[in-house]
Structure 1
Amino acid sequence: MENTIITISRQYGAGGRELAGILARKLDLKLYDRQIVHIAAAKMGIDDLREEELLEMENQVKPLALNFIPFHSFGTHMGSSSQEMFMSESAAIRKIAKDGPCIFLGRSADYVLRKMDNVFSVFVCADDDFREKRGREVYDGKSLKELDAEDAKRARYYNYYTGRTWGDGANYDLVVNTSSGDLEKMAEALIAYMRVMKG
């Protein structure tokens, strides 16, 4: 599995970011997350926005209308800043993936790299009690309602740009439930599983 690229999508509060970090450390791989946003912005010539503004621009997806045609149906970019951001991020992800093994957190990387043979995609989820506890302890007191609202944004973004359903197990090689909380053991199990599956 020396050349394997790992993509990790996750529910907010499920520990996906931490799990990605542990995997990156154990496998000695670079982990890409928000850096992709900055690379994409640089490619677009945007250098005057803060990270929060870039992330907001990235996540802008209009509410569904009756005559809604999802972005993925067009096949070409449609000119708005959020759509240009998605295209630019996708190009950056593909370029980085071609340079060698690494881990991508979020950014619809599982979809962007779906045609590559050496990609292993993971979706990380957890039960509401676990996420609610982490919301209080790890995410500055965020409520489960706030975590769910962030997930709704992620789902809307992913569904719009990919035509797939965010979190649907059929879109990933493996779905991992972190509710037991032992992320180190889960990382070891994931590595063992990927070694078996990817050789």
Structure 2
Amino acid sequence: MKTSTIITIAREFGSGGKETGQLLAEDYGIKCYDKELLSIAAKESGLAPELFENHDEKPTSSFLYSLVMDTYSLGYGSSAYVDMPINHKVFLAQFEAIKKIATEGPCVIVGRCADYALADFPNCVNIFIHADLPARIERIAKLYDLSEDKAKDLIKKTDKNRESYHNYYSNKKWGEAGEYDLTINTTTVGISGAVKIIEELVRLKEEMPVKEETEKNAE
């Protein structure tokens, strides 16, 4: 199976968004970028990898923390960049890394405002994966060997961070249906079902220009 489409996946914690992305990438024979983006952005920007781990989808409003962490910054001489809070530097580095990866060909990118970064890419579909809370609690409790209460707390904290990060750095609202090409509840269709639905969307999208041109020529 081949594709020319870039697929971005935003996801609720515990909904299986990452696994969905990995299965899609396997089917298409393309790369899936999740945390791999962090090392790529660190290498391209010259910022310490630890910064990307510490700030990964977690905005901070602490300017003092930003100033302290800024000592990790390497090789950037402009005053505007030097004075920029470190969380902004990390976001910009990821933003540029996402766009660079997308120019190299079709791929799957999980999280990190990829839908916003690639807003000008016509060959992109943006997906939001969610699931019912009980199903997510069960999944996270099993995955991380946690009690149901701790799993629930971790889900709420992680989702809050992802939502805050996305809404802070983009002009979109995380999880709002109108912001995506498709939202899928994996509790209803399962992860394999989600993969099939996304692949059908991609097929229809890739066929659409051909159909429009055929209809135009027939007039």
Q: Report the TM-score range of the alignment, normalised by the length of the smaller protein.
A: 0.7 to 0.9
Matched, 1:60 2:48: no
Q: CA RMSD in A?
A: 1.9
Q: Judge conservation of contact 1:61–1:160 (CA < 8 Å) in 2.
A: no
Matched, 1:165 2:173: yes
Q: Judge conservation of contact 2:137–2:152 (CA < 8 Å) in 1.
A: yes
Q: Which residue of 2 aligns with 1:101?
A: 106
In the alignment, residue 61 of structure 1 is paired with which amino acid? T
Percent identity, please.
31
Deviations 1:66-99 (CA, angstroms, capped at 9, x unpaired): xxxxxxxxxx977111101111111111111011
Deviation at 1:163, TM superposition (A): 2.6
Matched, 1:114 2:113: no
Matched pairs, number:
184
Q: Secondary structure at the match of 2:84?
A: coil
Equivalent runs, 1:1-199 vs 2, <5 Å: 2-47=3-48, 49-50=49-50, 54-58=52-56, 59-62=58-61, 79-141=84-146, 142-180=150-188, 182-199=190-207
Deviations 1:146-189 (CA, angstroms, capped at 9, x unpaired): 10111000111110000321111111100010013631232122
Deviates more, 1:135-144 or 1:123-132: 135-144
TM-score by length of 2: 0.78
| Structure 1 unmatched runs, 5+ | 64-75
Q: d(CA) in 2 for partners of 1:185 and 1:169?
A: 19
**Larger helix fraction of residues:** 2
Larger Rg: 2
Q: d(CA) in 1 for partners of 2:192 and 2:106?
A: 21
Higher relative contact order (CA 8 A, sep 6+): 1
In the alignment, residue 46 of structure 1 is paired with which amino acid? L
| Structure 2 unmatched runs, 5+ | 63-79, 208-219
Q: d(CA) in 2 for partners of 1:57 and 1:189?
A: 32
Q: d(CA) in 2 for partners of 1:189 and 1:157?
A: 27
Q: d(CA) in 1 for partners of 2:189 and 2:170?
A: 30
